[in-house]
Structure formats: C-alpha cells, structure tokens
Amino acid sequence: MKTIGEAERKYQGISVRGQTFYVMSGLYTSAQIEAIGQEQSAKHRLATELAFETGVSSYEIPSLRPPGVRSADQVSDWDEQLFMGRKNLVPYTVMNAGAESRRIAVSEDLADKIELARLTRPKVVQEGNWRELCGYRIGYGIAWIESFMRASEIALGFRLDVHGLRQAYILNRFFELMAVGFSRKDRIAILSVETGMHEPTIERLLSSPPPEPDRNVA
C-alpha cells in the first residue's frame, strides 16, 4: 500500500504575476490517483480516472457518450481553443444537471479503457430525483463518492473528497493554458466552457486554498 508523508500534504501558494494560486502539494497527482484506484473496483476506478482527467462531476458521469452520438449544446467563442495544451485526445460528451451537453476530452489510453467498459445495451440508472441512460460499466453518484473516500483513506492515509478532482483539473488546465500563452481572463473563460462552471466559481477556486483533508475518520 502506498502512503503519502505528512510533509507532502501541505498546501502551497504559488505566486504568478502578482496572483496567488493554491495547489495541493502531494494531492491529486497521477501517482496518487493510481494508488487510490488500486483500492477501488474496476467501475469506480474508471470513474475516478475520468473525473481526474476531465473534471466531470459525479452526476455527469453516467451521461457519458462517445464521439458522434450526441452533439454539444454549449457553443462559445472558445470552441476552437478547448483542450489546447493537451495532445492525443478523444472527444466525448456529458450532460449537466440542466440537461445541457458539453464536450470533454480524454486521453487515448483512457478512451480505450472506457470503450472496453461499454455495455451491450445501455441501462437506465437512477439516484435521488434524476434518471439517466448509462452506456458504460462505470461508477457514479453516491456509491462512487463513498468508494473514492474509502480508497483514499486506505491508499493515502486520509480521506479526500471528489470535489477536489474537479479543482485539480481546473488548476492543471489553468497552468497548461498559461504555457500555451493565454491571458488569465481567457484561461478562465476557456475553463468555464470545459467544465460547465460559471467564471466567478472558477475564480474563487483558483484564489482560495482547498479544504484540509479529513484525517479524523473512524
């Protein structure tokens, strides 16, 4: 079992051109996501990898559709700039709570895993007040959230929340887009389209340190 030392759990503020951005040192790296996934079932591990790579939420996961099945409803001035800074991507779509679809993009390796989990016949899944037609053997909703929290406790020694996966995506993409040459304002706008989140929400996530992991667990 892999464990992460206390020193690696510190939050670090990085100053870029007068702005401070908080990133989690030692949290939500590829290696740690892999360690967490080793403690999950195959379907929950796939959901964790998808959320880490794309920032999708727990209720969006079952709406995942492959290329050509569903077009994206969200159209913006940034459509040509989406996912710049990443290579060898495969496009998919997901549906948000407002029944609007948007594009996401996964690595070719993850796309291969997703397609291996495709169901012969899609099934209707339900949780709370929402229902969705799911086409893959993949975790979602409360069951996946609880699986992730348990697995992080086992693999890393403390419990993490899945919301941090979306924040990790935003932070990673923020710096990837910076490397491409986009201004801060443009990066926020692009991330808003990629995640389906409002720009003020992204601003808040970038300028505030994430909550401490829960180490007081039974």
How confident is the model over 121-166, as pLDDT tens digits?
Answer: 999 998 878 888 999 999 999 999 999 999 999 998 877 788 888 8
Residues sharing a CB contact under 8 Å with residue 165, sequence separation 6 or more, in sequence order:
28, 48, 51, 52, 55
Nearest alpha carbon to residue 118 among 208, 212, 46: 46
Nearest to 151 by CA among 42, 67, 5: 42
Q: What percent of the chain has pLDDT over 90?
A: 58
Q: What is the pLDDT of residue 214?
A: 57
Q: What is the DSSP letter of 213?
A: P
Check pLDDT > 70 for residue 90. yes
CATH topology of domain 9-207: hpI Integrase; Chain A (1.10.443)
Contact assessment for residue 156 and residue 35, using Cβ atoms and an 8 Å cutoff: yes
Sign of dihedral through CA atoms 147, 152, 206, 192?
Answer: negative
Q: What is the pTM of this model?
A: 0.83
Q: How many CB atoms lie within 10 A of CB 189?
A: 18
Q: Which of 49, 59, 69 is nearest to 114 (CA)?
A: 49
Confidence (pLDDT) at 22: 42
Domain boundary assignment for the chain: 9-207
Q: Which candidate, 140, 66, 48, 138, places its Cα nearest to that of 103?
A: 66
β-pair partners for 159: 214
User: Dihedral (C-alpha) 177, 160, 101, 105: value to the nearest 10 degrees?
Assistant: 40
Beta strand extents in 3-67 (DSSP E only): 11-16, 19-24
Compute CA distances 159 → 32, 36, 151, 152, whole Å: 13, 11, 8, 5
Average pLDDT of every residue of the chain: 83
User: CB under 8 Å to 201, separation ≥6 — which residues?
Assistant: none
**Are 167 and 173 a contacting pair, CB within 8 Å?**
no
With vertex at residue 125, the alpha carbon angle to CA 123 and CA 131, rounded to the nearest 5 degrees, is 120
pLDDT digits 0-9 by tens, 39-82: 999 999 999 999 999 999 999 999 999 987 766 666 678 888 99
